């Protein structure tokens, strides 16, 4: 076992490094600047925490959010690693004390908010610190191209420059379009950095898109079936958040709400109740999430389609950070497209930027209509190469699909588009096919076309869905921005000529079974009690994945306990006993037949 593997096992209780973690750590230990792009939940923190433990002096971690900082420091202290943080939430006396403690060598890691490092005071104090590394978390915040630009991130480089000895500089992010990537390297002046792009796949997440369901009913049923799990429900507007919350709350679910229209205190309280597992569910707009480190979110439901794949993947990616199986559901309805276009149009930005946003929106719309692998679609969008055609773990790969030949329908649609001279959008084409008497249709004399009403047996929405699917599957082109027009492609002509077939996959739905797990429940109670005593969120004690492993292996002694993923020496000595007792209790009762396990 290498030195770094020993540390991983001893402190964190993990046996193996995840992809790239060991390489990044070794780069840092070789004194190299590093830039790591890893998806949420891939385990960025360990990449700088382990070197921090091994390097001589102290590591400063620049982190953007106060809540995140406290969380990370609590987690480290729970592992037996000495760390502290300073930000605006603590008094000047306390800041002084913590920095002095750093100078005396009491801490290996100091988390600082970026706006701190610009102050004269901080600069004068850190002169006496032996800073071996500066790790910049959420490094994309330095770039204006990113979606979370923060002015204060621009202080980081001048700060590094002002230090007598240049520390190793490392940067971490989950978001990285090419533009942002180059910007981070340039603005932080990373010196000939080792760059690691771990890939975007999150194989524990199951993606699924549902079209045309009654969203409220669906959500209600889903959370009932998953009542013991934590989940986030994203909705597009404050109004929708309020209305969903009201319904769920009235039904007696433990649910919080979060959006920018609520007061700071109210938001903070909602967030904390969710983090501490006091409420299982939070309904929120996209204002919620940045810096939410809660590791045991088991599902993220999008009540509405977001504005682009980047935003979707980031929000959905808040599920399953602990590596446990989790679901990401998107409930699509056509109104979502209208709303997103309205929002883009309302934005006070250049025409160029709007065009770009319409383009990105279309990728999102396509995601909601493809019948192929959803994971493959996302990974390809992020420029990943050599992606498998079928992941076997998404709604489209999993569902029992029926193949249906829709060549005739496609021919009807294509020929209608042709006769309408390729100058109209999805809605109007569908109306003509359905024989609508709408004014625009009649004014244009479309009722005189031979294709008028040739799909009368379908509902309007079904025809629109079919056209959208044909766009997503690249049988049709969509051009233009705010009011896009459907156009034929070479392949559509081939279909019209009868040279190509169009096969659609249609889903058969199956009901989900609820799993009963009494031991897991019992262990969660133990965890909750400890968490309350120590005033930290439960997942800081142990993650869901760790508890699940305990329910599989029934550890009964120290050695067995240390073999459980996520149990290191310090945590064992603090909590091992209590959890082993709960397991013994459970086994005892089961032998006596008190609990029935289904
Ligand atoms: P990120 O910052 O990349 O989103 P974190 O650093 O918060 O991810 O790690 C996510 C989760 O994965 C944490 O619960 C962490 O303890 C766990 N983790 C990290 N590395 C490993 C590993 N090598 N084996 C098992 N779990 C790990
Ligand atoms: Zn798939």
For ligand 1, the distance from its centroid to the CA atom of residue 336, given in whole angstroms, is 34
Report pLDDT for 403.
76
Q: Is 43 in the pocket of ligand 1 (CB under 6 A)?
A: yes
For ligand 2, the distance from its centroid to the CA atom of residue 402, given in whole angstroms, is 16
Nearest CA to ligand 1 atom 13: 322
Pocket test for ligand 1, best of 45, 61, 75 (most atoms within 8 A of CB): 45
- Pair of tokens at residue 55: 């390097």
For ligand 2, the distance from its centroid to the CA atom of residue 381, given in whole angstroms, is 14
User: Is 473 in a helix, a strand, or coil?
Assistant: coil
**Close Cβ partners of 496 (under 8 Å, ≥ 6 residues apart):** 411, 414, 415, 418
Q: Is 568 in the pocket of ligand 1 (CB under 6 A)?
A: no
For ligand 2, the distance from its centroid to the CA atom of residue 263, given in whole angstroms, is 40
CB 445 within 8 A of CB 464: no
Taking the C-alpha atoms of residue 565 and residue 323, their distance in angstroms, rounded to an integer, is: 11
Q: Is 14 in the pocket of ligand 1 (CB under 6 A)?
A: yes
**Close Cβ partners of 244 (under 8 Å, ≥ 6 residues apart):** 216, 219, 233, 235, 283, 303
Q: Tell me which ligand sits closest to the C-alpha of residue 4.
A: 1
Q: Of the candidates 491, 431, 416, 492, which has an alpha carbon nearest to the alpha carbon of residue 461?
A: 431
Taking the C-alpha atoms of residue 6 and residue 63, their distance in angstroms, rounded to an integer, is: 27
Beta strands per DSSP E along 269-321: 281-284, 297-302
116-141: buried (b, 16+ CB within 10 Å) or exposed (e) per residue?
Answer: bbeeeebeebbeebebbbbbbbbbbb
Nearest CA to ligand 1 atom 15: 43
User: How far is residue 568 from each of residues 11, 61, 416, 469, measured CA to CA in Å?
Assistant: 5, 23, 66, 50
Q: Is 276 in the pocket of ligand 1 (CB under 6 A)?
A: no
77-91: buried (b, 16+ CB within 10 Å) or exposed (e) per residue?
Answer: bbbebebbbbbeeee
Pocket test for ligand 1, best of 46, 200, 295 (most atoms within 8 A of CB): 46
User: How far is residue 590 from each of residues 375, 467, 585, measured CA to CA in Å?
Assistant: 41, 56, 9
Report pLDDT for 193.
96
User: Is 39 in a helix, a strand, or coil?
Assistant: coil
User: Is 51 in a helix, a strand, or coil?
Assistant: helix
Report pLDDT for 128.
85
Taking the C-alpha atoms of residue 521 and residue 226, their distance in angstroms, rounded to an integer, is: 13
Taking the C-alpha atoms of residue 378 and residue 364, their distance in angstroms, rounded to an integer, is: 10
Nearest CA to ligand 1 atom 25: 14
For ligand 2, the distance from its centroid to the CA atom of residue 244, given in whole angstroms, is 30
For ligand 2, the distance from its centroid to the CA atom of residue 222, given in whole angstroms, is 21
Q: Tell me which ligand sits closest to the C-alpha of residue 207.
A: 2
Q: Which atom of ligand 1 is nearest to the CA of 39?
A: 3
Q: Tell me which ligand sits closest to the C-alpha of residue 15.
A: 1
Q: Is 295 in the pocket of ligand 1 (CB under 6 A)?
A: yes
For ligand 2, the distance from its centroid to the CA atom of residue 206, given in whole angstroms, is 8
Taking the C-alpha atoms of residue 567 and residue 370, their distance in angstroms, rounded to an integer, is: 42
Q: Of the candidates 6, 536, 8, 84, which has an alpha carbon nearest to the alpha carbon of residue 295?
A: 536
Q: Is 38 in the pocket of ligand 1 (CB under 6 A)?
A: yes
Nearest CA to ligand 1 atom 26: 14
Please name the helix (run of DSSP H) or strand (run of DSSP E) that holds residue 495, with its range, or none. helix 490-496
For ligand 1, the distance from its centroid to the CA atom of residue 208, given in whole angstroms, is 24
Q: Is 9 in the pocket of ligand 1 (CB under 6 A)?
A: no
Listing DSSP states for 344-391 in one string gives HHHS-S-HHHHHHHHHHHHHHHHHTT--S-HHHHHHHHTT--S--S--
Q: Is 320 in the pocket of ligand 1 (CB under 6 A)?
A: no
**Close Cβ partners of 436 (under 8 Å, ≥ 6 residues apart):** 460
Q: Of the candidates 252, 287, 250, 253, which has an alpha carbon nearest to the alpha carbon of residue 268?
A: 287
Q: Which atom of ligand 1 is nearest to the CA of 323?
A: 12
Residues in the chain: 598
Tokens 């480089």 sit at which residue? 157
CB 174 within 8 A of CB 37: yes
Q: Is 318 in the pocket of ligand 1 (CB under 6 A)?
A: no
Pocket test for ligand 1, best of 5, 36, 40, 41 (most atoms within 8 A of CB): 41
Q: Tell me which ligand sits closest to the C-alpha of residue 540.
A: 1
Q: What share of the chain is helix, strand, coil (3-state, %, to 5)?
A: 45, 15, 40
Tokens 């605006």 sit at which residue? 88
| Tens of each residue's pLDDT in the chain, 598 residues | 899 999 999 999 999 999 899 999 999 999 999 999 988 778 999 999 999 999 999 999 999 877 778 888 999 999 999 999 998 888 989 999 999 999 998 999 999 999 888 888 888 888 889 999 999 999 999 988 766 788 899 999 999 999 999 999 999 998 767 778 899 999 999 999 999 988 888 989 999 998 877 888 899 999 999 988 999 999 999 999 999 999 999 999 999 999 999 999 999 999 999 999 999 999 999 999 876 778 899 999 999 999 999 899 989 999 998 889 999 999 998 788 888 999 999 988 888 888 889 999 999 999 998 988 999 999 999 888 888 888 989 998 887 667 788 999 999 999 999 999 999 999 999 999 999 999 999 999 999 999 999 999 888 888 988 898 898 888 998 887 778 899 999 999 999 999 999 987 665 544 433 444 789 999 999 999 999 999 999 999 999 999 988 988 889 999 889 989 899 999 999 999 999 999 999 888 776 544 444 3
Nearest CA to ligand 1 atom 2: 44
Burial class (CB in 10 A: 0-12, 13-18, 19+), 457: exposed
Taking the C-alpha atoms of residue 444 and residue 127, their distance in angstroms, rounded to an integer, is: 76
User: How far is residue 266 from each of residues 67, 256, 279, 282, measured CA to CA in Å?
Assistant: 15, 10, 14, 13
Q: Which residues does residue 60 pair with via DSSP β-bridges, in sequence order?
A: 110, 134
Q: Of the candidates 516, 504, 508, 512, which has an alpha carbon nearest to the alpha carbon of residue 467?
A: 504
Taking the C-alpha atoms of residue 568 and residue 12, their distance in angstroms, rounded to an integer, is: 5
Report pLDDT for 134.
97
How many CB atoms are located within 10 Å of the residue 574 CB? 15
Report pLDDT for 304.
96
Q: Is 548 in the pocket of ligand 1 (CB under 6 A)?
A: no
Pocket test for ligand 1, best of 4, 20, 39, 43 (most atoms within 8 A of CB): 43
Q: Is 44 in the pocket of ligand 1 (CB under 6 A)?
A: yes
Q: Is 41 in the pocket of ligand 1 (CB under 6 A)?
A: yes
For ligand 2, the distance from its centroid to the CA atom of residue 224, given in whole angstroms, is 26
Q: Is 322 in the pocket of ligand 1 (CB under 6 A)?
A: yes
């Amino acid at each position: 076992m290498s030195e770094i593997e020993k540390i991983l096992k001893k402190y964190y209780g993990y046996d193996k490094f995840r992809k790239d973690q060991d390489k990044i750590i070794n780069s840092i230990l070789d004194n190299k600047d590093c830039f790591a792009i890893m998806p949420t939940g891939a385990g960025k923190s360990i990449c700088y925490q382990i070197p921090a433990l091994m390097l001589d002096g102290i590591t400063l971690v620049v982190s953007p959010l106060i809540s995140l900082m406290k969380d990370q420091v609590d987690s480290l202290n729970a592992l037996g690693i000495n760390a502290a943080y300073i930000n605006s939430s603590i008094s000047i006396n306390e800041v002084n004390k913590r920095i002095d403690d750093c100078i005396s060598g009491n801490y290996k890691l100091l988390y600082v908010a970026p706006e701190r490092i610009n102050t004269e005071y901080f600069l004068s104090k850190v002169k006496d610190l032996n800073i071996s590394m500066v790790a910049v978390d959420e490094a994309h915040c330095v770039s204006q191209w990113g979606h979370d630009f923060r002015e204060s991130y621009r202080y980081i480089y001048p700060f590094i420059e002002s230090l007598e000895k240049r520390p190793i500089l490392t940067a971490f992010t989950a978001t990285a379009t090419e533009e942002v990537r180059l910007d981070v390297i340039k603005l932080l002046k990373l010196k000939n950095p080792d760059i690691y792009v771990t890939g975007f796949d999150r194989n524990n997440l199951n993606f699924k898109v549902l079209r045309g369901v009654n969203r409220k009913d669906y959500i209600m049923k889903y959370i009932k079936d998953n009542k013991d799990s934590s989940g986030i429900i994203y909705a597009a507007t404050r109004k929708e958040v309020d209305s969903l919350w009201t319904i769920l709350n009235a039904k007696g679910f433990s649910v919080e709400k979060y959006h920018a229209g609520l007061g700071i205190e109210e938001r903070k309280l909602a967030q904390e109740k969710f983090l501490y597992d006091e409420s299982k569910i939070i309904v929120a707009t996209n204002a919620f999430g940045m810096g939410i480190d809660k590791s045991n979110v088991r599902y993220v439901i999008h009540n509405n389609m977001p504005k682009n794949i980047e935003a979707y993947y980031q929000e959905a990616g808040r599920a399953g950070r602990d590596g446990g199986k989790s679901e990401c559901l998107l409930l699509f309805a056509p109104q979502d497209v209208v709303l997103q276009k309205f929002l883009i149009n309302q934005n006070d930005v250049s025409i160029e930027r709007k065009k770009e946003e319409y383009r990105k929106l279309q990728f999102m719309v396509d995601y909601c209509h493809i019948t192929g692998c959803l994971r493959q679609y996302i990974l390809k969008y992020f420029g990943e190469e050599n992606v498998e055609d079928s992941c076997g773990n998404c709604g489209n790969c999993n569902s029992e699909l029926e193949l249906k030949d829709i060549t005739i329908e496609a021919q009807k649609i294509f020929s209608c588009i042709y006769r309408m001279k390729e100058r109209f959008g999805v809605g109007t084409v569908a109306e003509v096919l359905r024989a609508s008497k709408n004014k625009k249709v009649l004014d244009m004399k479309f009722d005189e076309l031979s294709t008028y009403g040739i799909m009368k047996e379908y509902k309007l929405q079904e025809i629109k869905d079919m056209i959208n699917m044909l766009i997503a599957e690249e049988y049709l082109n969509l051009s233009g921005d705010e009011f896009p027009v459907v156009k034929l492609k070479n392949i559509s002509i081939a279909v019209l000529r009868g040279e190509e077939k169009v096969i659609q996959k249609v889903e058969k739905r199956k009901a989900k079974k609820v799993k009963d797990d009494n031991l897991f429940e019992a262990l969660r109670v133990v965890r909750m009690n400890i968490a309350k005593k120590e005033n930290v969120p439960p997942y800081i004690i142990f993650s869901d994945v760790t508890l699940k492993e305990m329910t599989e292996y029934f550890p009964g002694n120290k050695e067995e306990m240390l073999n459980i993923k996520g149990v290191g020496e310090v945590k064992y000595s603090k909590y091992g006993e209590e959890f082993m007792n709960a397991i013994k209790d459970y086994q005892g009762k089961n032998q006596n037949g008190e609990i029935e396990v289904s």
